[in-house]
Structure 1
Amino acid sequence: MPFPALTETSRVPEPGTLPQHVPLAAQIRDGLVESIHYGSLIAVSAEAAGTKTLFTAGDPLSAFYPRSTLKPLQAVAMVRAGLDLPADLLALAAASHSGAAMHRDGAARILQLHGLPAGALENSTDLPYGVREREEWLRAGGTPTRLAQNCSGKHAAMAATCVINGWSVQGYLDPSHPLQKLVAETVRELTGEEPAGTSTDGCGTPLFALTLRGMARAFGRLASAGLHTGASPADGAEAAVADAIRRHPEMVGGEERDVTELMRRMPGLLAKDGFEGVQLVGLPDGRAFAVKISDGGDRARMPVTVRALAALDVDTAPLADLATGTVFGGGRQVGLLLATDFPAATSPAPDTL
């Protein structure tokens, strides 16, 4: 079968234009490095003069797609537009959920509260994302649906926000729709950046190309909203979203999901994962960091996240089992997946925000 023709959107980049990622994690099998995961990250703090870079690794100023880590920012836009949900459902609006009954029922509740049928959803159809949830769904004869898809909470909230504002529900994913214009404006404000490009996420929503620094800045703002001296009324939506996520981490991910465990074990921490190896974390004091694993693989994301927390002098003892991955051989442990000592050999990115 011949290869498909390359288009302008699929053409292979020139080597000199590729992000300059560095090793962030390595898999060790019986003392030998078997695999290396490259990537980039940045940690920042909020200062009176602007965002201060604490440490970096790789190329945190290259544009990338934040994928589902945009969801808390999208939820902020919706709350600003009048969306008023119980905390568990607001957390679901910012979720990449596992598709358990509580998630599917929660998305249905958002629709019902606003007089909407399930057919109002315009996200893609899928099986539940969680392994156990998917197996249970299939055993019960389930097929791909929009409610089971991991972004259904966000989409239900988007449709509800349209009802609240008298906007057309049909076509709410179009970038020219008032909802998506508001989301884009909110993303620009929270990140302090003009997107370097746009695309479409897996579920169908508009997707913005940003930098790790911009996303870290946004999560620092959300995590500290309403908790710092001098908080403004504009922090209300950010505080509502952050509080909902912290109070209901099971709605943001699900049982057996590392992002849920991370928030359960570290009270006050705000976290969101995204496809293609993306992780965002914000601390109540306004410090935050953003991680991108270059190969899009998921297994290195959490060890690197725990290492970044340790570099910020956070006590990571409760996360010991998340800090490494076990390598098996013949049914017994023969090695580990470990984060590198990346903060020790990095130089800060310029502070311009």
Structure 2
Amino acid sequence: MLSPALPLHAPAPDVTALPLTALQQHVALAAQTRGGLVESIHYGSLIATAPDSGAQDPDAPDPAGHDGLRTLLSAGDPLAPFYPRSALKPLQAVALVGAGLDLPADLLALTAASHSGAAMHRDGALRILQIHGLTADALENSTDLPHGVGEREEWLRDGGQATQLTQNCSGKHASMAATCVINGWPVRGYLDPGHPLQQLVAQTVRDLTGEEPSRATTDGCGTPLFALTLRGMARAFGRLASAEMNGAPAESPEAAVAHAMRRHPEMVAGEGRDVTELMRLAPGLLAKDGFEGVQLVGLPDGRAVAVKISDGGDRARMPVTVRALEALGVDTAPLAGIATGSVLGGGRPVGELTATDFLTAH
């Protein structure tokens, strides 16, 4: 009998067991305690990188395969391919700006967002469409309720249903449709991997990560999704985060996207979201999360941290990231509120979710 979670006519999933050799070699990155006993363990992988000052061209791989990076610390299997999910959005936004997308900073930040679905996010996506003569009918993303808990409850109280506009990727999709208008490309079908827009995005991802994706699939919102490594994603975020250092914010697409995200962290996620809090509490950091336990952080000097929690859970992502930032010498005292999670028993603290001692220095 098919699972009731599957559509009536959906094909049965492939349940063939994966060989052990296909599983990533993750390590314990975080643990939750209760009453002095370890109750749960989260495994995963991470890497922290910096531009290699000894590389002839730190912005691109050389013929010998040098990717312009030094590994500062690592844990687990950071070279295993994985899907960055929504952590790809800033890279996708760079592609759109490079193709002529010109938006106010708040709307460009929304382009790189997994937003909570608040009124400012919904209105922002509509503004992007209206600026380019489009309506919400142009959106081709999936439908969903607002991602934020409070935003979702308010939406439902007001009689709202799942829509494309409230789905957390609507800012990106509005900007993708807008970029098609700017370039005279067909708006309908903009998610097709063969569409000129998606061809441009794919090449931009290659350029920023320095990698050829090992495979491609489709993200939850319908956008093409690429399998990359944590190292490649760290390279990309280091490039974005350092792009403002040597000039004005508008000098490059990378700098424009980074500037917008830093200036409007509330548009990148939303009130009460840890990614928004991280950028507010540590000005200069560039942060983006992704479903299935993904976190990327870029620093203004080009260093970057990339984290993947293997079980896809969300709660371990930020404690592990903060521990890695601490190891890089970042002042994490302002981040204490997102560096651990309190475990309650009868309404009072009886344990803690915290990062393990996982670091291997290089």
Relative to the length of structure 2, the TM-score reads 0.92
Which residue identity is paired with 1:184?
Answer: A
SS of equivalent residue, structure 2 residue 252:
helix
Paired AA for residue 198 in structure 1: A
State the shift of 1:226 in Å. 3.1
- Per the alignment, residue 14 of structure 1 pairs with 19
Change (3 A) 1:118 1:332: same
Cα offset, 1:15, TM superposition = 1.0
Partner Cα distance (1:331, 1:265) in 2: 28
Q: Is 1:128 aligned with 2:146?
A: yes
Are the aligned partners of 2:244 and 2:258 in contact in 1 as well (CA < 8 Å)?
A: no
Deviations 1:49-92 (CA, angstroms, capped at 9, x unpaired): 11111010000000000000000000000000000000000000
Candidates 279, 297, 301, aligned match of 1:285: 301
One-letter identity of the residue aligned with 2:212? E
Which amino acid in 2 is paired with 1:284? P
What does residue 58 of structure 2 align with? none
1:100-150 per-position Cα deviation (integer Å, ceiling 9, x unaligned): 000000000000000001100000011000000000000000001111000
Letter in 2 for 1:41: L
Distance 2:356 2:338 in 1: 15
2: distance between equivalents of 1:161 and 1:11? 41
User: Contact conserved, 1:162 with 1:169, CA < 8 A, in 2?
Assistant: yes
SS in 2 for 1:109: helix
State the shift of 1:232 in Å: 11
Percent pairwise identity: 77
Alignment of 1:156-175 (within 5 A): 156-175=174-193
Tell me what 2:72 maps to. Answer: 54
| Matched residues, number | 342
Matches within 5 A, 1:171-210: 171-210=189-228
- Which residue of structure 2 lines up, in the alignment, with residue 40 of structure 1? 45
How many Å separate the matches in 2 of 1:257 and 1:171?
32
Alignment of 1:283-322 (within 5 A): 283-322=299-338
Secondary structure at the counterpart of residue 256 of structure 1 = coil
Partner of 2:7: none
Q: Distance in 2 between matches of 1:17 and 1:138?
A: 42
Contact 1:72 1:241 in 2 (8 A): yes
Aligned match for 1:109, one of 119, 122, 127: 127
Q: Confirm or deny that 1:66 pairs with 2:102.
A: no
Deviation at 1:234, TM superposition (A): 11
CA gap 1:213/1:234 in 2 versus in 1, 3 angstroms: farther
Distance in 1 of aligned mates of 2:105 and 2:16: 44
| Alpha carbons 2:44, 2:310 under 8 Å: kept | yes
Distance 1:302 1:147 in 2: 27
Instruction: Specify the alignment match of 1:327 in structure 2.
Output: 343
Shift of 1:17: 1.7
**SS in structure 2 opposite 1:214?**
helix
TM-score normalized by structure 1? 0.94
Q: Against the structure 1 CA distance between its residues 325 and 233, is the aligned structure 2 distance closer, same or farther, given a 3 Å change threshold? A: closer
Q: Which amino acid aligns with 1:238?
A: E
Does residue 248 of the first structure (1) align with residue 253 of the second (2)? no
Q: How far has the Cα of 1:330 moved from its partner?
A: 1.3
C-alpha distance in 2 between matches for 1:2 and 1:109 = 42
CA contact (8 A) 2:249 2:256 kept: no
Q: Aligned equivalents of 2:250 and 2:127: distance in 1?
A: 28
1:29 correspondence with 2:34: yes
**SS class of match (2:322):** helix
